[in-house]
């Protein structure tokens, strides 16, 4: 049965298929440990106002300044090369406290109503390269459909474990790995993995193992296939297909599909899970204008779930506030984007979208170990909607090149049946990014 599949052998099989027939002379690490190194700095100033409306009114406002430094060495010369990646993060509180903390930008307060004035962390990963294969062990920045570090706050989320990637075949990338801990984006230390929507109580997850492949040999077509096991919680499988078809020089069509299948495994720490979630989109682009229509559906009596704070929710209707991923949820979205380059303002973009979802919460299991909080006996016709507006400007040249200022606004509203599991929210974000390549 599919839910009994063990993924550790899958990872071993991936490693076993790595090509070893390239010549040592062609594939030797030639850049050198120092010659191939780089140092990048990233400063991010972040303000968030998370305003909960209704009977549970709460106004969480936080403002902080984050700094991230990443040093990546090259590889020692030879057929097998070794290297080291090091990073450090620092978060400073500029405002937040007196009962207004908790927006997720800064660490959760100790009960005083005030977040710490500073928080920091550092990490490193050893790496080894042989032919077209790279192995890393330590603190990792990961981005794929089943395990991706959250990048939507002041500082990024990282994971602790091992990863393996291979790019021998043109247009193909194979990868796999295992992580046991994560560094949340608003905390200093590392913690065991948890999920976004499930209630694990005092239970602990040992690790997540994954393997996958992506293909992009044609510029207009890409696809990927991934599998992951969250130990004693779920097996999750993902597939996507994205195609861009140019009707002429100015008009293009972009249909796409994302699909997840999630099934409980092992001790089933979050209870029974049998969930199929998919989204479909069609985008039409013409002279700087892009209009996208999307449809998304969750087939299952539990929500579509993923690693807490992570970005591994590759679904079209995952918006600023809501993922539209509740049990049995059906949702649609209409989005408009405009690139002002056509008007002579390169770097300025704007977007607006409206999403609406409908759920039947009476089908959720009230006795579910991890998802019983989604049950509502009056929730047969639960529904909610979200409106998102965004404006961003990136400086294109000069000393401040790549400095970006973004404004984001989300409004989410639901009927009484939906508010049994969520709140009405207004959320404002102001984000200033300044990436700098030192060398």
Residue 76: inside a domain, yes or no? no
**What backbone torsions phi and psi does residue 40 show, to the nearest 5 degrees?**
-125, 140
At 30 the pLDDT is 57
| pLDDT reading at 20 higher than 70 | no
Return the percentage of the chain with pLDDT > 90, whole number: 80
The model's confidence at residue 98, banded by pLDDT at 50, 70 and 90, is low
At 210 the pLDDT is 98
Query: CA–CA separation, 338 vs 216, rounded Å?
Result: 26
Range of the domain at 162: 2-28+122-437
| pLDDT reading at 260 higher than 60 | yes
Residue 92: inside a domain, yes or no? no
Own/partner contacts of 99-104, CB < 8 Å, gap of 24 or more, are 100/59, 100/60, 100/61, 100/62, 101/60, 101/62, 102/50, 102/58, 102/60, 102/62, 103/48, 103/49, 103/50, 103/60, 103/61, 103/62, 104/48, 104/50, 104/62, 104/153, 104/185, 104/186
Mean pLDDT of the region 248-258: 96
Query: CA–CA separation, 154 vs 13, rounded Å?
Result: 38
| pLDDT reading at 433 higher than 70 | yes
Mean pLDDT of the region 162-179: 97
| Arithmetic mean of pLDDT over the chain | 91
Contact (CB, 8 A) for 380 and 349: no
At 3 the pLDDT is 43
E-strand stretches of 154-273:
158-166, 172-183, 191-192, 208-218, 221-230, 234-243, 245-246, 251-264
Residue 190 sits in a domain whose CATH number is 2.40.160.10
Strand, helix or coil for residue 308: coil
| pLDDT reading at 111 higher than 80 | no
How confident is the model over 390-401, as pLDDT tens digits? 999 999 998 899
Residue 321: inside a domain, yes or no? yes
Number of Cβ atoms within 10 Å of the Cβ of 126: 13
Q: Which of 7-16, 200-209, 241-250 has the lowest mean pLDDT?
A: 7-16
Mean pLDDT of the region 113-126: 89
Question: What distances in angstroms separate CA 295 from CA 127, 274, 328, 345, 355, one per listed residue?
Answer: 41, 21, 13, 32, 10
Residue 54: inside a domain, yes or no? no
**What backbone torsions phi and psi does residue 256 show, to the nearest 5 degrees?**
-160, 160
Residue 139: inside a domain, yes or no? yes
Residue 75: inside a domain, yes or no? no
What's the domain count of the chain? 1
Using left for φ > 0, alpha for ψ between -120 and 50, and beta otherwise, residue 421 falls in: alpha
How confident is the model over 321-378, as pLDDT tens digits? 999 999 999 999 999 999 999 899 999 999 999 999 999 999 999 999 999 999 999 9
The residue among 9 and 200 whose pLDDT is bigger is 200
Q: Looking up tokens 């979802």, which residue turns up?
A: 357
Nearest one of 15, 30, 17 to 135, comparing CA atoms: 15
Residue 66: inside a domain, yes or no? no
Residue 304: inside a domain, yes or no? yes
At 112 the pLDDT is 61
How confident is the model over 218-235, as pLDDT tens digits? 999 999 999 999 999 999
């Amino acid at each position: 049965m599919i839910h009994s599949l063990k993924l550790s052998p899958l990872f071993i099989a991936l490693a076993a298929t790595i090509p070893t027939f390239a010549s040592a002379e062609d594939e030797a690490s030639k850049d050198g440990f120092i010659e191939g190194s780089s140092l990048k700095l990233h400063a991010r100033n972040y303000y968030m106002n998370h305003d909960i409306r209704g009977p549970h009114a709460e106004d969480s406002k936080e403002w902080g300044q984050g700094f991230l430094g990443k040093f990546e060495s090259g590889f020692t010369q030879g057929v097998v090369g070794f290297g080291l990646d090091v990073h450090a993060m620092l978060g400073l509180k500029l405002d937040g406290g007196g009962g207004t903390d908790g927006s997720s930008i800064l660490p959760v307060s100790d009960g005083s109503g005030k977040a710490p004035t500073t928080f920091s962390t550092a990490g490193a990963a050893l790496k080894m390269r042989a032919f077209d294969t790279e192995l890393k062990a330590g603190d990792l920045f990961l981005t794929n459909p089943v395990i991706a570090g959250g990048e939507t706050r002041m500082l990024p989320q990282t994971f602790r474990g091992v990863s393996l990637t291979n790019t021998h075949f043109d247009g193909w990338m194979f990868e796999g790995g295992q992580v046991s801990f994560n560094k949340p984006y608003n905390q200093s230390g590392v913690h065991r993995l948890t999920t976004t929507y499930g209630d694990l109580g005092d239970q602990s997850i040992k690790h997540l193992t994954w393997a996958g492949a992506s293909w992009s040999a044609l510029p207009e077509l890409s696809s990927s296939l991934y599998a992951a096991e969250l130990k004693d919680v779920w097996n999750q499988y993902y597939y996507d297909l994205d195609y861009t078809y140019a009707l002429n020089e100015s008009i293009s069509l972009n249909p796409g599909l994302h699909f997840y299948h999630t099934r409980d495994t092992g001790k089933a720490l979050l209870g029974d899970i049998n969930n199929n979630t998919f989204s479909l989109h069609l985008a039409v682009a013409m002279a700087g204008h892009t209009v996208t229509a999307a449809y998304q559906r969750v087939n299952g009596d539990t929500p579509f779930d993923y690693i807490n704070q992570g970005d591994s929710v590759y679904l079209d209707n995952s918006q600023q506030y809501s993922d539209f991923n509740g049990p049995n949820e059906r949702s649609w979205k209409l989005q408009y984007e405009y690139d002002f380059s056509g008007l002579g303002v390169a770097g300025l973009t704007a977007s607006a979208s409206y999403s609406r979802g409908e759920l039947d919460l009476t089908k959720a299991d009230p006795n579910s170990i991890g998802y019983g909080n989604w049950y509502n006996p009056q929730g047969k016709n639960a529904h909610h909607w979200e409106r998102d507006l965004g404006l961003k400007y990136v400086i294109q040249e000069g000393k401040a090149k790549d400095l970006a200022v973004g404004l984001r606004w989300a409004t989410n509203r639901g009927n009484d049946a939906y508010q049994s599991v969520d709140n009405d929210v207004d959320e404002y974000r102001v984000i200033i990014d300044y990436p700098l390549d030192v060398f």
